[in-house]
Amino acid sequence: MHPTTTDGARAGAEPRARRRRPGWALAAGLAGALALAALVTGLSLAVGSNPLPLDAVWRALVAPDDSFATTVVASRVPRTILGLLVGAALAVAGALIQGITRNPLGDPGLLGVNAGAAAAVVTVTAVTGSMMVGVAVLPVAVLGAFGAAVVVYLVGSGRGGPTPVRLILAGAAITAALTAYVQAIAFTNPTVFESYRFWVVGSIAGHPPSTVTMIWPVVVAALVVALLLGRPLNTLALGDETARALGASAGRTRLVGAVVATVLCGVATAAVGPIAFVGLAVPHIVRAVTGSDHRWLLAYCVALGPVLLLGADVLGRVVARPGELMVGVVTAFLGAPVLYFAVRRSGSGL
């Protein structure tokens, strides 16, 4: 006997129902994620070429004096805050991209943001003939990221407005073109290559406190807007026609989501360089706990994005002591298995 349509629908709904969690359980899990973020933040302040016990870190924070521990902790605070901001920004940007494109393998680089930022940096360096360092990179890289994202959105819109497939194809094409341009300029101009090779690896180390001062208002404001997109993204996940039937505008949701994702990823990339896999890995890890409800998914990404990024940064300091591995290298190693399992999972129809 063949199962009826109702039976098939019920069978398909059962796994989704099992993935739902009660609100109190998700709230408790979010509290645990925030506690984990606090622990990793403490480790980021304690671990380094001059390791400190956590109690010494706490005393240096609550009762600073002229001791050696206070000096060491103060030197690590900008790096740690930068990791918190960039980790949350990249994770939420990844969740937004996956939501607006309905692509489980979506990544902030899908809109050409990383390639656009890199193209702007190498172009200005080639024109001026001087290396770009410090906060001078920020406005140039942000403009490049926005320019690339705008081009991708316009190309992916077509006559009938943006669709997930068009955005993905446009992003892949623009990214390939910009990457080829960056490589052509960087490998033929020694000044450009010297500037580009340090920025492109991705690191939260060695940045002045002014970097944090410049990006934190933008990142915090964009995160607030992103959290407000949870319900519209849930409606968009039902499909464009269903979203319109429910009174939602699929095009407006995609546009706002793309703008917020570009702001988050563009500012983060401009500040520390392109860091791979955070925007891909964190939403997949979180989705195993929260399911597909973007209201909880985005909130968890805010908490767990910094955990992954700061955890990778701490690991890079430990495995290469007394030196350290740049965080972009560590996240690439950690993200590769996540990408593998994500591909396997998406191939199973989930």
CATH number, domain with residue 304: 1.10.3470.10
- The region of weakest confidence among 161-165, 227-231, 270-274, 343-347 is 343-347
Residue 164's contacts (CB-CB under 8 Å, 6 or more residues apart) are 100, 101, 102, 103
pLDDT of residue 133: 57
Exposure on the CB side of residue 319, measured as CA atoms within 13 A = 12
pLDDT of residue 232: 87
Chain centroid to Cα 313, Å, comes to 15
Three-state DSSP class for residue 326: coil
pLDDT at 66 over 60: yes
Phi, psi (rounded to 5 degrees) for 237? -65, -20
pLDDT of residue 221: 95
pLDDT at 196 over 50: yes
pLDDT of residue 348: 44
Q: How confident is the model at residue 299 (pLDDT cuts 50, 70, 90)?
A: very high
Residue 35 to residue 263: CA distance in whole angstroms: 27
Is residue 148 included in any domain, yes or no?
yes
Give the Å distances, CA to CA, from 285 to 242, 328, 329, 340: 28, 19, 20, 13
Encode pLDDT of 135-178 as tens digits. Answer: 677 788 888 888 988 888 888 776 666 677 787 888 889 999 99
Is residue 205 included in any domain, yes or no?
yes
Residue 48 to residue 164: CA distance in whole angstroms: 43
Residue with tokens 């805010």: 302
Instruction: Please name which of 33, 32, 44 lies closest in space to residue 315, comparing C-alpha atoms.
Output: 44
Instruction: Please name which of 137, 155, 156 lies closest in space to residue 145, comparing C-alpha atoms.
Output: 137
- Domain limits for position 249: 80-347
Three-state DSSP class for residue 205: coil
Output the furthest CA–CA distance in the chain (Å, rounded).
80
The mean pLDDT value for 284-297 works out to 87
Is residue 272 included in any domain, yes or no?
yes
For the chain, the domain total comes to 1
Is residue 27 included in any domain, yes or no?
no
Is residue 190 included in any domain, yes or no?
yes
- Give 340-345 contacts, CB < 8 A, sequence gap 24+: 341/284, 342/104, 342/105, 342/280, 342/284, 343/105, 345/104, 345/284
Is residue 63 included in any domain, yes or no?
no
pLDDT averaged over the chain? 81
The mean pLDDT value for 72-92 works out to 92
Both structure tokens of 3: 């199962």
Which of the pair, 310 or 340, is modelled with greater confidence? 310
Task: Determine the straight-line distance between the first and last CA of the chain, rounded to whole angstroms.
Answer: 26
Q: How confident is the model at residue 231 (pLDDT cuts 50, 70, 90)?
A: confident
Is residue 39 included in any domain, yes or no?
no
Is residue 29 included in any domain, yes or no?
no
What does pTM read for this prediction?
0.84
pLDDT of residue 109: 75
Which of the pair, 64 or 92, is modelled with greater confidence? 92
